[in-house]
Structure 1
Amino acid sequence: MSKNCIFCELRDERVIGECEFTKTFIDSYPASPGHTLIVPKRHFATYFEATEDEMLAIGKAVQNAKQILDEEFSPDGYNIGINNGLAAGQSVMHLHVHLIPRYKGDVEDPKGGVRWILKDKANYWDDKNKVRVK
């Protein structure tokens, strides 16, 4: 636990799921309706620091959250993401997994999904954007 961490100081009324190792709650700044975060109870920054038990618990929490979101929001798909480190966009240095419901029509063309993080690398299927190896 860290006293300066918003995820370590999470109010219980925000929690929609919990186990020995994790807490699950709706994101305060959702990218889409139902955007949910899964955090380990132990304070550490990246996925690569998680124990085997924590990784297993995180995976189960993602599955449990999906069931809740399926019932409440009926999304058409999901993105699952983790930002590890400042260069990857991590803004809270406590591991958190984003479970982001996706809906038909929420973007014009969802093809490429998370590849759009680096926009010039996203459209890999278009011949004009492929890199040729000589």
Structure 2
Amino acid sequence: MADATYDSNNIFAKILRGEIPSHRVYEDDAVLAFMDVMPQGPGHTLVVPKAPSRNLLDADPTTLGPLFAIVQKVARAVKKTFGADGVTVMQFNEPASGQTVYHLHVHIIPRFEGVPLKPHSGQMEKPEILAENAGKIRAALSN
């Protein structure tokens, strides 16, 4: 297993501290949701706890309830916003699973019948598209 020490300089910790900009869609005392800058489909959103957790395996159990309550709320809003047929919710733990950022995070991706997920290409989405999609999700969350 990789070094299981939480790195407070990971990119999501920097986003939480406001050191790196993000297109936020939801925030409360425990959780932040924001647009994935390398989306696998339109509306790809990430939900992270504010508590420092490397992944699901080391998270304090009290972190999980608030996190997954918001995952559900955001997933419903994303599905509605993009008129999706469903949503894929993914969460990776450790390198063998595909985890590349070592701060607990959940992916929410709207899905459409017959449309495959885009590969994780490292291609960044245009900021104006991310901002527009974030605004649409925020509007759905406020309804």
Same fold, TM exceeding 0.5?
Answer: yes
Query: Once structures 1 and 2 are overlaid, which stretch shifts more, 27-36 or 8-17?
Result: 8-17
Q: Which runs of 5+ in 2 are unaligned?
A: 1-5, 117-143
Match of 1:83 in 2: 92
Pick from 81, 105, 108: which aligns with 1:72?
81
Distance 1:56 1:3, change over 3 A: closer
Match of 2:26 in 1: 17
Query: Aligned partners of 1:2 and 1:25: how far apart in 2?
Result: 20
Pick from 60, 67, 82: which aligns with 2:69?
60
Query: Aligned partners of 2:8 and 2:77: how far apart in 1?
Result: 30
Report the aligned-residue RMSD: 1.9
Query: Aligned partners of 1:13 and 1:96: how far apart in 2?
Result: 15
Pick from 1, 4, 13: which aligns with 1:8?
13
> What is the deviation of 1:3?
5.1
Q: Secondary structure at the match of 1:53?
A: helix
Q: Does 1:49 align with 2:58?
A: yes
Quick one: percent identity of the two aligned structures?
A: 33
Match of 1:102 in 2: 111
Query: Aligned partners of 2:51 and 2:69: how far apart in 1?
Result: 17
> What is the deviation of 1:68?
2.2
Query: Aligned partners of 2:22 and 2:104: how far apart in 1?
Result: 20
> What is the deviation of 1:63?
1.5
* TM-score, length-scaled by structure 1: 0.71
Query: Aligned partners of 2:13 and 2:55: how far apart in 1?
Result: 15
* TM-score, length-scaled by structure 2: 0.67
Q: Which runs of 5+ in 1 are unaligned?
A: 108-134
Q: Secondary structure at the match of 1:9?
A: helix
Query: Aligned partners of 1:21 and 1:56: how far apart in 2?
Result: 10
Aligned residues: 107
